[in-house]
Amino acid sequence: MKKLLFLVIGLSLLLLTGQIASAQVPSDASTLRRVPSVKSAPAAVRDVSPERLEQRCQVVQQKFTTHLNRYQLNTRQHTARYERMQARLNALVVRLNEAGKDTGELEDALAVFDQKIQLFTDNADDFMASLRSAQETACSDLETTLPNKAVETRSLLLLLKENVTAIKNYWQEIIRPMITALIAEGE
């Protein structure tokens, strides 16, 4: 019952506001002013002043610097995490070998894991280089080159995110079950 009441009140308010808004629109079309488009504006108005271009350049440079710093920090954190994982896994392999367990399969999986981490590192370097290149060319050609560089940089960022996901999935689906099986084997 309450829902129906709220629905009726809401619809009546909606209709009432629609009638009020339509009542305020002038019926004579000649009283409406047309806003000129940028294309129909004189050439002097369309041209951007050097001061405005310098402002835009500074804003773009600042954004690139912020992105570059953030992604460098993010990449360093990922790399440090992966190095710690590798060190712990290598120490675990040594302990399992000392316990007399067969770690050949795990060592092969760790070699693939190392390749995935190396691919991440290489792609991160490519991404950072692309971001720096876009930052350097940002002010020289803000309208044509920068969008192309931005598309290239975004595609490298997506590839980098795919690398992180691949490393995470490989750890969870391949290495962790192997370690669990090796540890449970001796018990």
Lowest mean pLDDT among 77-86, 129-138, 153-162: 129-138
Segment 70-128, tens digit of pLDDT: 999 999 999 999 999 999 999 999 999 998 899 999 999 999 999 999 999 999 999 99
Percent of the chain with pLDDT over 70: 71
Question: Structural domain boundaries of the chain?
Answer: 49-185
Predicted confidence at residue 158, as pLDDT, reads 95
3-state secondary structure the chain: CHHHHHHHHHHHHHHHHHHHHHHHCCCCHHHCCCCCCCCCCCHHHHCCCHHHHHHHHHHHHHHHHHHHHHHHHHHHHHHHHHHHHHHHHHHHHHHHHHCCCCCHHHHHHHHHHHHHHHHHHHHHHHHHHHHHHHHHHCCCCCCCHHHHHHHHHHHHHHHHHHHHHHHHHHHHHHHHHHHHHHHHHCC
Q: Model pTM greater than 0.75?
A: no
Q: How confident is the model at residue 5 (pLDDT cuts 50, 70, 90)?
A: low
55: pLDDT confidence band, cut at 50, 70 and 90? confident
Report residue 15's pLDDT band, with 50, 70 and 90 as the boundaries. low
